[in-house]
Structure 1
Amino acid sequence: MSAFEEGMKVKRMPVNEQVFENMKEAIKNGRWKAGEKIPSEIELSSMFDVNRLTVRTAMQRLIGMGLLETRVGDGTYVKEFSFGSYLERASEFYLGPELLDKVCEFRYAIEIEASRLAVVHATEQDIRILEDACEKFENLKRDYLEQPSEDTFKEIVKADTDFHKKICEASHNDLFVYAFLMFQELLNQYIHIVLQERLEYWKKRKKKGEPWSDLHRVICMAIRNHDFDACKRAYTDVIDYKIDLEK
């Protein structure tokens, strides 16, 4: 039999896979809507003419995918699917220390291009959201420099990551947002490392009474002014954080 003929053979799908696909399709096409309680294991077993273990296995897979949730003492419900939360849960399977070294290259490819689109497409509302995110980061940084704490540091890392996510959202290109979500957890780890060094640098400058430029604010202003050259320069300094530390 040729490879072509082999590929044309109809493959039988295991029963448990059929149940899983049918349940997933019921969610995908809206027969089971978000927030709706699905039939019980007994009811589904009867519907599919399979045993309860087969149904339970399919349900657990869908729960793991973030499509279903079990409410104790109540039943199983369809969840509002979030692509971002799904990627965040999956990130532990593809993230590793060796990838941290690749973050800068990835940020150049994704974030700077997203910022170029933001310069073109950002609405007034997008810019205000960016400015609010920028102000939140600045306030947290000020609080930390006055009274360092681990909780404040974690909030700064989150605020920094969130600012860059909003740049991607302001590009009005969903693929950039999805790409960011795929590496958001890795970026969070990277920013955690970078900010530890950067905050020490800012502390030293603060003690000397020396000013420093807030690059987030510069990026916001550049997007407002439709000035990609200024935006790119500031964003490059954000990514190549050692440039700032060596000044």
Structure 2
Amino acid sequence: MGIKPIKKVNVGQMVFDQMQEQLIRGEWKPGDKLPSENELAEMFNVSRITIRQALQKLSALGMIETRFGEGSFVREADVGENMNALVPMMYLNKNSNFQVFEFREIIDAEAAGLAAERATPEAVEELEKILKDMEKYNKAGNVKMFGQKDLEFHFKVTQMTGNSLLIQTNIILRRILEISMEDVIDKMGCEPAMYYHTKILDAIKKKDHDSAMQLMRDHIRNNRKYYD
């Protein structure tokens, strides 16, 4: 049996990711006071230094603010302050979920059209592999991995445009899109995504700009109806 490399676990990153998710999901709401460093250290079973580093990162992203002598508080969302804060400052609620769908309808639909025009055989092959992985996880009932591959499909379509601004925007928004995708799959299941992704891939393979764009738009609108 060959030796398998040992995966390093970044405890600080794991703490930060969980705290960020709490904020994005609205478990800690704007204006709420966070537990103290000691309380958080006990909750996560880590050192106060690790907690302090996570809090500093959240503060740098504009998600929380620390008031001397009072503690750390969740900031009100204000995406206008700077572009880099766009993801963390968008806390998920019904209204912001609709904003995510509006964003995706605009970006993903146009990206699908461009992808159909610019698709290479290699890129199409990668999309086909992602779709096969989605089908595999769907049959296995692994909803979490299905959701990850679903988002990967959308990101790959955007990459196929070759437009660095579109690609970078998805990278900036990745965390909020991941959490939104998990929520969508939980509500609607996997079959609608399989249906639309298969149709979209077929349109891209045929280099049918209009069909790819319309199918992607229909796909996003279908997702949105589960929130009406």
Q: What range is the shorter-chain TM-score in?
A: 0.5 to 0.7
In structure 2, relative to structure 1, the CA distance for the partners of 1:92 and 1:243 (3 Å cut) is: closer
**Comparing both structures, which one devotes a greater share of its residues to helix?**
1
Equivalent of residue 119 in structure 2, options 117, 122, 125: 122
Give the residue type in structure 1 aligned to 2:221. D
Is 1:138 the equivalent of 2:135? yes
The answer on whether the counterparts of 2:118 and 2:161 sit within 8 Å (CA) in structure 1 is yes
1-structure distance, mates of 2:193, 2:155: 24
Give the residue type in structure 2 aligned to 1:93. P
TM-score where L is the length of structure 2: 0.56
Deviation at 1:90, TM superposition (A): 6.4
Give the residue type in structure 2 aligned to 1:175. L
Please list the CA deviations of residues 56-95 of structure 1 after superposition, one character each: whole Å capped at 9, or x if unmatched: xxxx99xx99xxxxxxxxxxxxxxxxxxxxxxx9676323
SS of 1:93's equivalent?
A: coil
2-structure distance, mates of 1:94, 1:215: 30
2-structure distance, mates of 1:231, 1:115: 5
The answer on whether the counterparts of 1:122 and 1:172 sit within 8 Å (CA) in structure 2 is no
1-structure distance, mates of 2:136, 2:216: 20
Match in the other structure for 1:236: 217
Give the residue type in structure 2 aligned to 1:162. E
Give the residue type in structure 2 aligned to 1:100. N
The answer on whether the counterparts of 1:127 and 1:224 sit within 8 Å (CA) in structure 2 is yes
Q: Give the aligned CA root-mean-square deviation in angstroms.
A: 3.0
Equivalent of residue 216 in structure 1, options 184, 191, 197: 197
Match in the other structure for 2:148: 158
Please list the CA deviations of residues 176-211 of structure 1 after superposition, one character each: whole Å capped at 9, or x if unmatched: 1101112121111111111112228x5xxxxxxxx9
Is 1:179 the equivalent of 2:165? no
Please list the CA deviations of residues 84-123 of structure 1 after superposition, one character each: whole Å capped at 9, or x if unmatched: xxxxx96763231243220111112211111111111111
Equivalent of residue 102 in structure 2, options 105, 109, 112: 105
Equivalent of residue 88 in structure 2, options 75, 93, 96: 93
TM-score where L is the length of structure 1: 0.52
2-structure distance, mates of 1:231, 1:243: 19
1-structure distance, mates of 2:129, 2:100: 26
Mark the structure with the bigger radius of gyration: 1
The answer on whether the counterparts of 2:131 and 2:153 sit within 8 Å (CA) in structure 1 is yes
The answer on whether the counterparts of 1:161 and 1:184 sit within 8 Å (CA) in structure 2 is no
The answer on whether the counterparts of 1:130 and 1:163 sit within 8 Å (CA) in structure 2 is yes
The answer on whether the counterparts of 1:95 and 1:186 sit within 8 Å (CA) in structure 2 is yes
Q: Which runs of 4+ in 1 moved over 4 A?
A: 89-92, 242-245
Instruction: List alignment gaps of at least 5 residues for structure 1.
Output: 1-59, 66-88, 145-151, 203-210
In structure 2, relative to structure 1, the CA distance for the partners of 1:167 and 1:242 (3 Å cut) is: closer
Give the residue type in structure 1 aligned to 2:111. A
Match in the other structure for 1:191: 181
Instruction: List alignment gaps of at least 5 residues for structure 2.
Output: 1-55, 62-83
